[in-house]
Amino acid sequence: MSNNQTSRPFQLRDFRPTDIPDFVEAINLVYPDEPSTVEQMEYWESSYPKDNPRLRAVAEWHDGKTIGFAACFNPFWMVTPGAYWLEMLVHPDYRRHGAGSALLAAVEPFAWQQSALRLWSNGREDHLDGVAFAEAHGYHRIGIRFESVLDLDTFDEAPFVSAFDRIDAAGYTLTTLAAERPLVADADRRLFDLHDQVMVDVPFPGGAYPKTTYEQWRAWAIDSPTSDHDGMFIAKQGDNWVGLTFVEMPPGGSPFTGSTGVLRAHRGRGLAMALKLRSFRFLREHGYHQVRAHNDTANPPILELNRKLGYRRLPGWITWEKTAQ
């Protein structure tokens, strides 16, 4: 891909791995509260599934700096009703020169060429320029994913610790992936199977739900530079694994809860609360002062749990949809 129109101060071309440092710079300017690193991006680049359809483009400024990034691909982390996914970002210092519209026009048709029925994207609700851009280009809102934060320095677990007594009385114990690995030969696979079962009930907008392969889940959850096997908590009843919660700890940023879930037959017994509390203790022990969570508005039970715990809502992420013409 190339676009050498001299009337614009940029040209479009294919993405190169050498664009990653400029990409990280733009991410950290747009989302300073959730910083990334070059090492993280290089890891995600190397772990992207080779057989998953994707088209990428970048906008290169006249001085050689990469200032805009776009990708259109099959969202391999979830089951979707005929949807493809769009990601796009323009460096804030280089906006209003047409780079966003040019990038969108370059990658958006890829979804329709793959017979997608709809194209999804997301963006922060408080980024009003992004909201206006999406609406101007034919996207409409289909949901919002709340982001919230809990202050661990002021959090008082006393009103909730009875959850530990409840699960003890019912014969449950809490452990970690790190503790189970020396004891269970297929611990990683068992945790994936548990995650796969509980995540089916985690709603996404537009009728989607989380679903991925073992290899991709492993790349995210087990081998990722943001994971810590001591921070991957498992609820057990005897030898049966019935619940989980993970905390992810990106370097330089606030940790967040990646997943919390309990098998249907074991819900309503305090397991989710106990898992959350154990993760908070872990984070405090490691010197963290807050923890974030992302939850969809279509998931009232976990939103209510977080409300009880004292999470404070932050600006959410709008899910946008554009249907095939």
Please give the tally of structural domains in the chain. Answer: 2
Q: Does 163 fall in a domain?
A: yes
> Nearest to residue 309, comparing CAs of 141, 154, 100?
154
**pLDDT value of position 1:** 62
Query: What CATH number does the domain containing 255 carry?
Result: 3.40.630.30
| 104 and 239 share one domain | no
| 160 and 294 share one domain | yes
Q: pTM of the entire structure? A: 0.90
Q: Does 143 fall in a domain?
A: no
| 101 and 198 share one domain | no
- In angstroms, the CA 163 to CA 183 distance is 27
The helices-and-strands tally (H runs, E runs) of the chain is 10, 15
| 80 and 219 share one domain | no
| 157 and 283 share one domain | yes
For β-strands 118-124 and 83-90, DSSP reports them as: parallel
**pLDDT value of position 302:** 78
| 204 and 280 share one domain | yes
> Nearest to residue 191, comparing CAs of 114, 131, 243?
243
* Domain final residue pick, 116, 138, 158: 116
Dump pLDDT digits (tens) for 162-176.
Answer: 999 999 999 999 999
| 110 and 240 share one domain | no
pLDDT along the chain (325 residues), means of 10: 70 98 98 92 95 97 98 93 95 98 98 97 96 98 92 97 98 98 97 94 79 93 94 98 95 86 96 97 96 78 86 94 93
| 167 and 297 share one domain | yes
Residue 71: domain span: 2-116
* Domain final residue pick, 72, 95, 116: 116
Q: Does 126 fall in a domain?
A: no
